[in-house]
Structure formats: C-alpha cells, structure tokens
Amino acid sequence: MQRSFPTAWTFMVIVFFCFNQDIDGVNPGFKARVTQKGINYMRDVGLNILKQELSTLPIPDISGSEKIKGVGKVDYTVSNMRVNSFNIPSATLVPDPTIKGVTLNANSLSLAMHGDWRYSAKIAGIHVKDHGSFDVNGDGITLHVTIRIGMDSSGRPTVSSQSGDCVFSIGSLHVKFHGGASWLYDLFEHDISKALKKSLVNQACSLVQNGINTDLSKELAKLDLVAKIDDVAEIDYSLVSAPTFQGGINTANKGEVFPIGKRQEAPFPVPPIPNDPDDSNMVEVWITQFLFQSAGYVYFKAGYLEYNLTQDKLPSGGQISLNTSSTFVKIALPQVSKMYPNLLMQVNVNASSSPDVRMKPNSINGSVVIDAVFFVQLPNKTLTNMFTVQLTTYVSASLGFKGHNITWNSTVIRVDVQLLESNIGDINMSLLKSALDIAVRILLIPMVNEEGSKGIPLPSIDDVIFENPVIKVNQGYFKLGLDVKYTGSDKKTL
C-alpha cells in the first residue's frame, strides 16, 4: 500500500507558488522569491519527514528457491522486514532552470533493517525447516528526485515527476543472519541482497513519485488562490505566468483585490518591480501600491465609503457633539447655533473617488476626497440641507505584519476643506476647517486604522508561520522579507 507524501514537502511546493509570476508585457501586482536560504530550510524539513516515511516503509515479503550443491532445492522466505534507521547526512535542493523545477540530491545515505527468515527443504529424503532473524546494513545509497513545477490555464500551480525523475540506488547491502541454520542463508546471501535492493528501490521511488503526482497534486488542486478579506472583497493570488528558477524560485502573481465573485479590473497602472537579488530572508515578497489602490477602488464602488453620521454613532462623552447648542458647534458654526438652537445635525459623507495610495522610498502617502453634506433635523423630523463641503484628507501610513496579514497604521498630514454650497450664508472656513480636522482625526482615522489592524491576508498554509518580518518601501512598491517556520509534526502525513 502506498503511503502519503509528507506534509512538509507539500508545504515546500505550496510556498513556491504562494509567491510570484509575470504575464508577458504585464506587470504583476505581487511578486516573490523563495531564496536558497528558504529552499535549504524546506529541504531540511522535508528530509526529516522523508526519513520518517522511509523508516516505516512497508517492504513486501520475499520468497524464492535455490539449488544448493550437496543439499538440493531450498525454499526460503524473508518477512516482517522493517527499516530501523535511515540516515541522510547531507543533501542539496536547488532550483533548476533546465527542467523548470527543483532537484534533490542526497548522497552517502545509509540504512539499517531487521527481518525474519525461514526455509524448508528435503535433505536425504527428510523434510526439514527452520527459522531465525537477520539484520541488514546498507551504505553508498543515493537519492535523486526531480520535481517539475508549472501552472495550468487558471493560474494554479502544477507539479509532476516523470519516469526517470527519481533514482534511488544502493551501493551495497550486508546481510547478517541469526539463529537456526543461518549458515544455509550465507550460501545465497547475494540473491537475497539483490532482491532486497530491488524491493527498496521500487518502494522508495514509488513513495516519492506517488506523493508528487497524486497526493501533492491533489493538495495543490485545493490550494485557495483567492483569499477572502471580508464580505465585500477578496484578493487574487493566482499565477500569471509560470515560475522561473534563477537565484531561487520566482513567481509573479495577480495581486489584485476584486469584489467577491466578480472580476472588475481596477483602472490603475501597475508599477514595475525592478530586479532585486536580495536573499537575506527565506522569502522575499514585492507588493505594489496597485494592490492597495485596487482595494480602495472595490470599497468605493461598493459604497463602503459612504456614511451617514448621526449623534448616536459618536462616542459617548466625546469632545464632538452634533447638537447645535454644543460647544463644538458653537465654535465651528456659530450661525447654526443661532438659527437652529438645541437641534441635532446629521452629516452625510460620500467619497467622490476611490482613495489614492502612493509609495515612495521610505514613505507611503494616501489621500481621499470626500463630500460632506450637513443637515439639521427639525422638530418634525425632516432634514434641512445647510451646506456642503469637500474634504481632501492626506495621510501617511506605516506598514506592519501580523500573523499572515499585512497591516497598516495611518496618521493625518493635513485636511483641506472647500465650500461647495451654502444655504445658511457665509461660513467662517478657518473655524470650520479646524473643527473638521479634529473630526477626521478623532472619527475617520480610527476607523481606517481599525481595518488596518486586521490587514490584508497573504496566502496561508497549515502548520506554517512567518517570522522576522522586514519591510522596506520603494518607488511604487514595498518589499517584505520573511522567514518561515514549519510547526507540524515530522510524522504528519496528508
């Protein structure tokens, strides 16, 4: 019975795909590289699990007959064979552009086995049989595995291992028999050693290739390339071109936020990401400002940047009140306090365009233009339009990383206010601007930062966490360096 492919090897290939790609002539919104440092870590994790798998490899019983001079025909069986230990002192896992994938080479492997034997024969007309145990030590073992990595028409990663892509060879097996007439086995040790070699070679490569072509392929087929942000938006991480294998494993991904279930392209250019040989972390990720611009566009089109502010939505006991007789309104809009004493106001805000996000070296700036219509609620519950202003809020942002999410925190640079319409005469714009500046800082920015604390998710993988994030902002994009830690059990299988 074939065993499942180790989870860590699945993790290894999925990590390759969660980060990178490039459609010819089109800039991806999201690129990444698994560096050699990351590849080495995944190699070690994968080999630890492979050792566990091979150590529990089921080896079929071996039966045969041998004519022995002076004895005659002897029927023998070796059974209950198991690998007690499997040692991989060193191995390399490297990207290979020629085969468009990765190759694993491990040399000087060794193993130890134990099993049982029994025989039956007729000697001088007398039926005899006996049994005992044996130990096997193997050395000079090599393992070569090629994993071919590509993509299908939907942008989903594919893996395969073809005939000849796995070579498991054993230099020598030394069989030591114990008990009974084990001297008899010494006469045909070569045949048993040969049969054991063939069985181990077939089993090992069958395990690995079945894992790649069946188990791993099934896991990749289930890989969620669209990550849900909330009930409004989702982010597409599908591949836009096949991975490349220079200096690491490189991918290019769509990296765009869409309305859930729709493909409405955002009307923004995707800035290019220059070549960057940095390999400081296990994974290097480049994310363009386009990802954030597309997110703002989706929420704008969905009407999520519209809001009717009323007194009941303000923090109780806060310094801002929409009562026309409050100190806040008396200072900012003295004529409103006189014209409509002790009434409540309502402010309907609506973004006139989607938020703009710009990245420059070491800085991220954003702006949003909002129309705000101020009403007063009359005693008969009707609303009277007093005036309309346009607010342009400029913010700066810092990025962070928490769990699997890119987070942000914004601060106000300035708020520009322009009067669009007034039904209450002249308005002291200096006083109103100061009041609205306070309102933006107290009301709007905390809402923005609450969403920022949740963040935008990167592709997630079971039993894998990201560590040691390093963020650097450049022209049109930022780079995120990450290390990877596998937290699953070495004995876990799919």
- pLDDT at position 334: 94
372 belongs to a structural domain: yes
5 belongs to a structural domain: no
Mean pLDDT for the stretch of residues 293-304: 92
User: Are residues 263 and 134 part of one domain?
Assistant: no
Check pLDDT > 90 for residue 129: no
User: Are residues 252 and 214 part of one domain?
Assistant: no
pLDDT band per the 50, 70, 90 thresholds, residue 1: very low
- pLDDT at position 489: 60
- pLDDT at position 404: 85
Alpha carbon distance 398, 207 (integer Å): 48
User: Are residues 422 and 404 part of one domain?
Assistant: yes
Q: What is the DSSP string of 226-283?
A: EEE-SSSEEEE--BSS--B-SSSEEEEE--EEEETT-----SSPPPP-------SSSE
User: Are residues 218 and 96 part of one domain?
Assistant: yes
User: Are residues 454 and 419 part of one domain?
Assistant: yes
3-state secondary structure of 352: coil
How many domains would you assign to the chain?
A: 2
Check pLDDT > 60 for residue 172: yes
**Domain final residue pick, 170, 200, 224:** 224
User: Are residues 384 and 448 part of one domain?
Assistant: yes
4 belongs to a structural domain: no
Higher pLDDT: 51 or 408? It is: 408
CA 387 to chain centre: 49
Prediction pTM value: 0.79
Helix axes 189-210, 36-55, angle to 10 degrees: 130
- Asked if 434 and 463 touch (Cβ cutoff 8 Å), the reply is no
- pLDDT at position 24: 43
- Asked if 469 and 401 touch (Cβ cutoff 8 Å), the reply is yes
493 belongs to a structural domain: no
- pLDDT at position 468: 92
Check pLDDT > 80 for residue 213: yes
Paired strand residues for 78 = 62, 117
492 belongs to a structural domain: no
Q: What is the mean pLDDT of the chain?
A: 86
Residues 6+ apart with CB under 8 A from 316: none
Closest CA to 405 of 228, 254, 262, 223: 228
| Structural domain boundaries enclosing 310 | 226-474
pLDDT band per the 50, 70, 90 thresholds, residue 326: very high
User: Are residues 381 and 269 part of one domain?
Assistant: yes
Alpha carbon distance 334, 336 (integer Å): 5
- pLDDT at position 232: 93
Closest CA to 30 of 265, 256, 336, 356: 256
CATH of the domain at 143: 3.15.10.10
CATH of the domain at 406: 3.15.20.10
**Residue for token pair 């989903």:** 156
CA dihedral (247, 251, 256, 259) in degrees, to 10, reads -150
392 belongs to a structural domain: yes
Check pLDDT > 80 for residue 21: no
Check pLDDT > 50 for residue 2: no
- pLDDT at position 4: 43
3-state secondary structure of 315: coil
10 belongs to a structural domain: no
**Domain final residue pick, 183, 201, 224:** 224
Check pLDDT > 70 for residue 16: no
Q: Which amino acid makes up residue 166?
A: C
Please report, in angstroms and rounded to a whole number, the separation of the first and last CA atoms in the chain. 15
CB neighbourhood size of 248 (10 A): 26
Check pLDDT > 60 for residue 270: yes
- Asked if 143 and 122 touch (Cβ cutoff 8 Å), the reply is no
Check pLDDT > 80 for residue 491: no
Mean pLDDT for the stretch of residues 160-181: 88
CA dihedral (175, 176, 181, 187) in degrees, to 10, reads 40
List pLDDT tens digits, range 38-97. 999 988 888 887 777 777 777 888 888 877 777 778 888 889 988 888 888 889 999 989
pLDDT band per the 50, 70, 90 thresholds, residue 305: confident
Which tokens go with 296?
């703002």
User: Are residues 298 and 212 part of one domain?
Assistant: no
User: Are residues 210 and 65 part of one domain?
Assistant: yes
Handedness of CA 383, 388, 389, 395 (dihedral sign): positive
171 belongs to a structural domain: yes
Closest CA to 295 of 26, 4, 30, 18: 30
Alpha carbon distance 291, 297 (integer Å): 10
User: Are residues 297 and 360 part of one domain?
Assistant: yes
Alpha carbon distance 131, 123 (integer Å): 16
Q: Which amino acid makes up residue 179?
A: G
Alpha carbon distance 339, 376 (integer Å): 10
- pLDDT at position 3: 42
Q: Which amino acid makes up residue 494?
A: L
User: Are residues 443 and 300 part of one domain?
Assistant: yes
- pLDDT at position 141: 92
- Asked if 293 and 268 touch (Cβ cutoff 8 Å), the reply is yes
User: Are residues 450 and 350 part of one domain?
Assistant: yes
- Asked if 288 and 252 touch (Cβ cutoff 8 Å), the reply is no
Closest CA to 130 of 80, 88, 74, 176: 74
Rg (CA), the chain: 34
- Asked if 415 and 391 touch (Cβ cutoff 8 Å), the reply is yes
List pLDDT tens digits, range 340-375. 999 999 999 999 999 999 999 999 999 999 999 999
**Domain final residue pick, 199, 224, 249:** 224
Q: Which of 113-117, 281-285, 316-320, 430-434 has the lowest mean pLDDT?
A: 316-320
Mean pLDDT for the stretch of residues 14-33: 61
